[in-house]
Amino acid sequence: MLYQIFETQRTLMEPFADFAQAASKLYSNPMSPIGQNAMAQRVSAGYDLLYRLGKDYEKPAFGIQSVEVDGVSVAIHERIEINKPFCELRRFKRFSDDAATLNKLKNQPVVLIVAPLSGHYATLLRDTVKTMLKDHKVYITDWRNARLVPLSEGEFHLDDYVNYVQEFIRDLQAKYGSCHIMSVCQPTVPVLAAVSLMASRGEQTPLSMTMMGGPIDATKSPTAVNNLATNKSHSWFENNVIYRVPDNFPGAGRRVYPGFLQHTGFVAMNPDRHLKSHYDYFKDLIKGDNSSAESHRQFYDEYNAVLDMDADYYLETINTVFQEFKLVRGTWEVKNPQGKLELVRPQDIRNTALLTVEGELDDISGSGQTEAAHKLCSGIVRQAHHHLEAKGAGHYGIFSGRRWREVVYPHVKSFILENNKAGKVAKAAAPKKAVAAQKTVAAKKPRPAVAKKVAVKAAAKPVARKAASAKK
């Protein structure tokens, strides 16, 4: 019922938001008689703020048209490589007519960025993607809003998330021979599970894993997010935050955790900060500081755009990650596409280097939660373990903004490049090792004559035994 009430309220607010937008433009237009009023700029700013507080925020576009690679502008074409019911594997293909640049792009590492499915769209990682595109071939998981997925597409569970990631990894390995994987926040847990299961089966795993600000072990330095999950029971979440999608959406009837509830929770964590931000925006409009005002718009266009999550996935994540801590306790079993349960064993990972990144001031994933992955991945050699704590960075600062670009990214770039080179060396050495192994086997293999002699002796033994028996 709450979902229907929210949608009704949003629908009623829509004409008022449109009116506020029109009034703001009318008062800010210097050609308008009203715009000549002494208080016009202040009134325009007030209406603009009302518009932004009341408008509906839809999914933003990545909007990455080009990036610079060594001073050369490289065009970006965004396209969908794999289309799943609840997710699109999106590629940012790079084009250049500069031969040297094109040759450089071809030899760069392939990175799968697994975006969080925790209320916001994958476009929250726009800055992450744009920065990575300078030195990598980039793919990203673009999760769908559950209210837009018809019931006919079935349910979506945490196990399905893990299986999606494995499918995407296999697809990139089939195309390029190898890949690297990066997970930001929530997906660190299912990504670690996906790679662990692949390692346990003896499949090829990514050359490296970069895990940033995620709740690998939510028992360490618990935050407000962790405390909410541990203080409320599973039944409380099911009875209080799960609702059915209204009839005016394609996913009508689907049980979801609504995005507007998640957004309310985000704002409730730091209400004073958001209040100050909106007041500063109002003052910037009055002063005519268009640059600061535009920065505010860009941030909140992304921050206020939220999606619904399938109820099964959401509840299972709460239970697995924040209540029973199944990953760190070694009790997590994932159902594969064939319906078989498989135990998640991070200790089985051998050939994948690991980098964990944490923000010093992260108030969503506490200190030590992501670093805990190193202890779980005990099968990885010590030299392949790396950890970075970004000083002065909050949760968003480790993957977006100045600290991401100047502090975190150089480490990530160096880590991926180093392991990409090591992977190529190992791949080149593999055929030589295989040939050497064949020569060793051939050298140890008995000659035909000797083999025949052994066979004769072996055949003679039963005859000798029979003769001895006859004598007795």
User: Could you report the per-residue pLDDT of 275-327, keeping only the tens digit for each?
Assistant: 999 999 999 999 989 999 999 999 899 989 999 999 999 999 999 999 999 99
Please check the confidence at residue 457 and state whether its pLDDT lies above 70: no
Residue 421 pLDDT level (bands cut at 50, 70, 90) = confident
Average confidence score pLDDT of the chain: 89
Residue 94 has pLDDT above 50, yes or no: yes
pLDDT computed for residue 433 by the predictor: 54
Task: Give the pLDDT confidence score for residue 268 in this predicted structure.
Answer: 83
Q: Which amino acid is at 84?
A: K
pLDDT per residue as tens digits for the range 186-202: 999 999 999 999 999 99
Task: Identify the H or E element spanning 67.
Answer: strand 66-69
Q: For domain 66-258+308-426, give the CATH number.
A: 3.40.50.1820
* Token pair of 225 as six digits: 């997010």
For the chain, the C-alpha Rg in angstroms (whole number) is: 29
Cβ contacts of residue 44 below 8 Å, gap of 6+?
Answer: 23, 24, 25, 26, 27, 28, 35, 285
Query: What is the Cα–Cα distance from 469 to 472, expressed in whole angstroms?
Result: 5
> pLDDT per residue over 65-85, tens digit each?
999 998 899 999 999 999 999
- d(Cα 257, Cα 244) in Å, to the nearest integer? 9
Predicted TM-score (pTM) of the model is: 0.86
Residues 6+ apart with CB under 8 A from 267: 274
Residue-wise pLDDT for 222-236, tens only, equals: 888 888 888 899 899
Contacts of 201 (CB under 8 A, 6+ apart): none
- Look at the block and give the residue holding tokens 């600061």: 292
Partner residues linked to 113 by β-bridges: 140, 182
Handedness of CA 42, 44, 45, 51 (dihedral sign): positive
pLDDT of residue 458: 34
3-state secondary structure at position 166: helix
CA distance 192 to 140: 17
